[in-house]
């Protein structure tokens, strides 16, 4: 489901993405309710296969990657293999900036919601993305929040083209 950004920002005002969101003119918030506890869902984020779970999403990522090379949108941006979810590492082509993760220790300083915050910058956009996982009933609500600043007319056109894919992903 697509959510109103203002509602998310109010409800999760203490999250990393909410504190940074006001810097960006575009805020896109999606949510999905899942019948699993927040800790297990956060652990699933470390599997890059979950970024593109089906062949058609992998094909779209490949087409986007080729377009980025062809039009020189992505100088210096590269896809990284699996790395631990630690700030300074990479999550696919994103830089990990923030992690509020469950700890195996029963006295963990992190309680839900758990959050993975990442960024990427290329010729078209500066973007932050967050996966925030909060308990809801006996399961969890997974939020995917994207904040973006699209650069110039080409960046704004790029957003109009990719937004349907972004919403579907």
Segment 40-81, tens digit of pLDDT: 888 888 876 766 667 776 777 677 777 777 777 776 677 778
Burial class (CB in 10 A: 0-12, 13-18, 19+), 60: middle
Percent of residues, the chain, with pLDDT higher than 70 = 86
* 7 conformational bin, left if phi > 0, alpha if psi -120 to 50, beta if neither: alpha
Q: Kindly report, residue by residue over 113-149, the tens digit of the pLDDT.
A: 899 999 999 888 899 999 999 999 989 999 999 999 9
- Residue 23 is predicted with a pLDDT of 92
The pLDDT mean for the chain works out to: 84
| Residue among 113, 138, 92 nearest 42 (CA) | 113
Cα separation, 4 vs 157, in Å, equals 22
User: In sequence order, what are the residues at sequence separation of 6 or more whose Cβ sits closer than 8 angstroms to the Cβ of residue 9?
Assistant: 18, 21, 27
Q: What are the residues whose beta carbons fall under 8 Å from the beta carbon of 168, sequence distance 6 or more? A: none
Q: Is 147 left (phi over 0), alpha (psi -120 to 50) or beta?
A: beta
């Amino acid at each position: 489901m697509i959510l109103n950004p203002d509602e998310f920002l109010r409800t999760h005002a203490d999250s990393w993405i909410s504190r940074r969101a006001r810097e960006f003119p575009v805020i896109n918030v999606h949510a999905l309710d899942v019948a699993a506890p927040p800790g297990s869902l956060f652990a699933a984020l470390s599997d890059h296969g979950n970024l593109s779970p089906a062949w058609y999403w992998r094909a779209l990522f490949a087409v986007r990657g080729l377009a980025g090379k062809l039009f020189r949108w992505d100088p210096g941006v590269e896809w990284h293999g699996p790395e631990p979810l630690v700030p300074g590492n990479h999550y696919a082509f994103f830089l990990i900036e923030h992690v509020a993760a469950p700890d195996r220790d029963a006295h963990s300083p992190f309680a839900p919601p758990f959050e993975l915050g990442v960024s990427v910058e290329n010729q078209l956009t500066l973007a932050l993305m967050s996966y925030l996982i909060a308990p809801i009933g006996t399961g969890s609500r997974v939020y995917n929040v994207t904040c973006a600043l699209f650069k110039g007319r080409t960046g704004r056109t790029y957003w109009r083209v990719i937004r349907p894919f972004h919403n579907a992903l």
